[in-house]
Amino acid sequence: MEKYDYLIVGAGLFGAVFAHEAKRVGKHCLVIDKRNHRGGNIYCEDIEGIHVHKYGAHTVSYTHLTLPTNREV
Ligand SMILES: Cc1cc2nc3c(=O)[nH]c(=O)nc-3n(C[C@H](O)[C@H](O)[C@H](O)COP(=O)(O)OP(=O)(O)OC[C@H]3O[C@@H](n4cnc5c(N)ncnc54)[C@H](O)[C@@H]3O)c2cc1C
């Protein structure tokens, strides 16, 4: 059975950054999440090449304003 230094519940910003930093100093981490994606509440879906927030009210992210396909905006 594999051994870990940390079991991190949640692959959101906190869990992901913690795992990243722990790995940098040689720790072995297992990250689990009840959702089927990483990123927690900042997760975005690629819809026709545009990053769109999946959670929360602000479904139009600022990336809309900077995408080459939306130069008019
Ligand atoms: C609409 C909206 C707008 C926001 N705007 C901003 C902003 O402008 N600026 C800003 O700094 N922050 C903003 N935030 C907050 C930002 O999203 C959070 O600060 C950040 O995502 C929190 O990260 P986290 O890792 O703590 O939690 P989360 O991103 O919530 O990640 C937690 C993860 O843990 C998982 N989890 C929870 N319980 C369990 C369990 N029992 N078992 C397995 N997995 C579990 C969840 O599925 C989730 O993936 C906003 C949030 C929302 C919803």
Question: DSSP characters for 32-58?
Answer: E-SSSSSSGGG-EEEETTEEEESSSS-
User: What's the rounded Cα separation, in Å, for the pair 22 and 50?
Assistant: 32
62 pLDDT higher than 70 = no
CA angle (52 as vertex; 21, 73 as ends), nearest 5: 120
Whether residue 16 has its Cβ less than 6 Å from ligand 1: no
| pLDDT over 70 at 72, yes or no | no
Number of C-beta neighbours around residue 73 at 10 A: 8
- Best probe residue, ligand 1, of 9, 30, 41, 59 (max atoms within 8 Å of C-beta): 41
pLDDT in tens, 22-60: 999 999 999 999 999 999 999 999 999 988 888 876 555
CA distances from 25 to 32, 54, 63 (A): 20, 32, 33
pTM to 2 decimal places: 0.79
Q: Tell me the CA–centroid distance for residue 18 and ligand 1, in Å.
A: 14
